[in-house]
Chain A
Amino acid sequence: MAHSGINILFEGRNLTRLLGGLWISAKIAFIAIVLGILLGIILGMLRTLKNPLLRVILRLYLEFFRIVPTVVLLFLFYYILPQNFHINLNAEVVATLVFTLWVAAEMSDIVRSGLISVPRHQVDAGKAIGLTTPQLYRYVLLPQSIQLMIPATINLTTRVIKTTSLLLLISVMDVINVGQQIIEANNQHYQNGAFWIYGFIFILYFILCYPLSVWARYIERKEKLRNNG
């Protein structure tokens, strides 16, 4: 039977299953990004306060999530911690948790460096009209640094989306996992099924990430022009 390899995508429910897998990855990435950014903004602000103990703790938190590879974090939270503490967590929940904590850690650094780039005088001027510390952040410091934070945040987002490809390691039914199952189930009929499936997955990730990275570069360039002009 002569047939083109691309048909593997359209056999049975393969396409729906692949897109379903992508949906799971995207959902986990989306929730983690939203929650992680919110948490990261708070942690980033806390890291600019004077409290030295808080600073050290948050710094260690950042370094931990930055140094430990994401795969190890996933294993740690999915296999090792539940065993030791006798809790049973659903793989998707674990994935969302790990990604959220990771995004929050990276985001705290983006927010902190944005905030400390606002000139010291602005803080004095804000205090001098009686702003409380939260008001100072809300009306003066965050609005003035958000432009600087946006490109780095978008880049973080693309990294998170790409890294969801590790989810199969804790057996989340993500797009890669579904893809592998399809390849195995069809390796009689489609010898080069892997090529088509992974090619398709590549395109899916590309469609998700490329516009984001173009957007980030555009904002960065605009910011540079604005600073020069």
Chain B
Amino acid sequence: MVDTLLKVEHLNKAYGTKQVLHDINFSVTPGSVTVLLGPSGSGKSTLIRCLNGLEEFQSGQLSFEDQPIKPTPKTWQQLRQKIGMVFQSYDLFPNLTVIDNILLGPLKVQKRSKTEALKQATQLLKEVDLTDYADAFPRQLSGGQKQRIAIVRALALNPEFMLFDEVTASLDPEMVRGVLEVMLNLAKRKMTMLVVTHEMNFAQQIADNVLFLEDGAILEQTPGKQFFTQPQTDRAREFLDSMAF
């Protein structure tokens, strides 16, 4: 097994002339959970989207499993089977049923056998308590249910790394718990994850490491336990206070 699953070196990203990520450096060890925190507009979404090629960047080197990533569409298309992503707005495909949403990647991208993929999908649906919804359309589900399906859809490709961008931010409060529990279970099973969240209790519970981002720069990289009790920078302290934590 490799020591670092993902390595980011000197990543810089600008929209037009506006620099939004400044010289980002960090790495992620296999089986760890990294929580990315920072005020609104600090560049969390932009950073996480760079990691599976949804955003282009001007300079920097990413490596996955010790292999440098050549940022071409073809490389990214291949890598996205190993790097799953879940979005704030779920983004299930409304034209497909739940099960077809889940099977699209395994069948069409990975060309796996229908029997095998279906067996795995059924198992995953069971784990998120949504077995009965396999043939429903997304519009028939609540936000929390949609988000759990979106997680299953990403997991169905057997990724080695999962990216979560504020996946509970659009949910009604009573739906949040169910989704967070799915993520806690993944962490227990040593899924490597990078998580952007505003749920501070959850962040503290799940984080092995915290990256604190402000104005597009990483101000602090600290082990989870330490960050929430003794942050190293005043800015992080103020941020935690502002989150009423």
Contact surface of A with B, Cβ cutoff 8 Å: 121-122, 124-133, 135, 139-140, 143-144
Contact = CB atoms under 8 A, between A and B. Distances in A.
B109 interface: yes
Nearest to B95: A143
Interface in B76-105: 76-78, 80-81, 84-85, 87, 89, 91-96, 104-105
Contacts of B85: 128
7 contacts: A125-B92, A129-B80, A129-B105, A129-B157, A130-B78, A131-B104, A140-B95
Contact of A125 (B93, B108, B157): B93
Contacts of A126: 93
B55 to A, nearest CB: 10
A50 to B, nearest CB: 10
B77 to A, nearest CB: 6
A227 to B, nearest CB: 12
Contacts of A140: 93, 95
A144 B95 contact: yes
A128 B81 CA distance: 8
A135 B107 CA distance: 12
A151 B108 CA distance: 31
* Top 5 A-B residue pairs of the complex, sorted by shortest distance between their CB atoms: A125-B91, A129-B105, A130-B109, A143-B95, A130-B80
A53 to B, nearest CB: 18
A131 B108 contact: yes
Nearest to A128: B85
Contact of A128 (B95, B96, B108, B154): B154
B91 A135 contact: no
Given A122-B91, A144-B95, A128 B109 contact: no
A124 B54 contact: yes
Interface of B: 52-54, 73, 76-78, 80-81, 84-85, 87, 89, 91-96, 104-105, 108-110, 150, 153-154, 157
A125 B87 contact: yes
Contacts of B109: 129-132, 135
Contacts of B108: 131, 135, 139
Nearest to A132: B77
B95 A130 contact: no
A76 B84 CA distance: 55
Contacts of B92: 125
A23 B93 CA distance: 43
Nearest to A138: B108
Nearest to A122: B91
A200 to B, nearest CB: 45
A136 to B, nearest CB: 10
Contacts of B154: 128-129
A51 B80 CA distance: 23
Contacts of A131: 77, 104-105, 108-109
A28 to B, nearest CB: 34
A124 B104 contact: no
Contacts of B157: 129-130
Given A128-B52, A129-B157, A130-B80, A144 B94 contact: yes
A126 B162 CA distance: 16
A143 B104 CA distance: 14
B221 to A, nearest CB: 26
A192 B202 CA distance: 88
A129 B110 CA distance: 10
Contacts of A132: 77, 109
Contacts of B95: 140, 143-144
Given A128-B80, A129-B157, A132-B77, A139 B87 contact: no
A131 B153 CA distance: 13
Nearest to B88: A121
B110 to A, nearest CB: 8
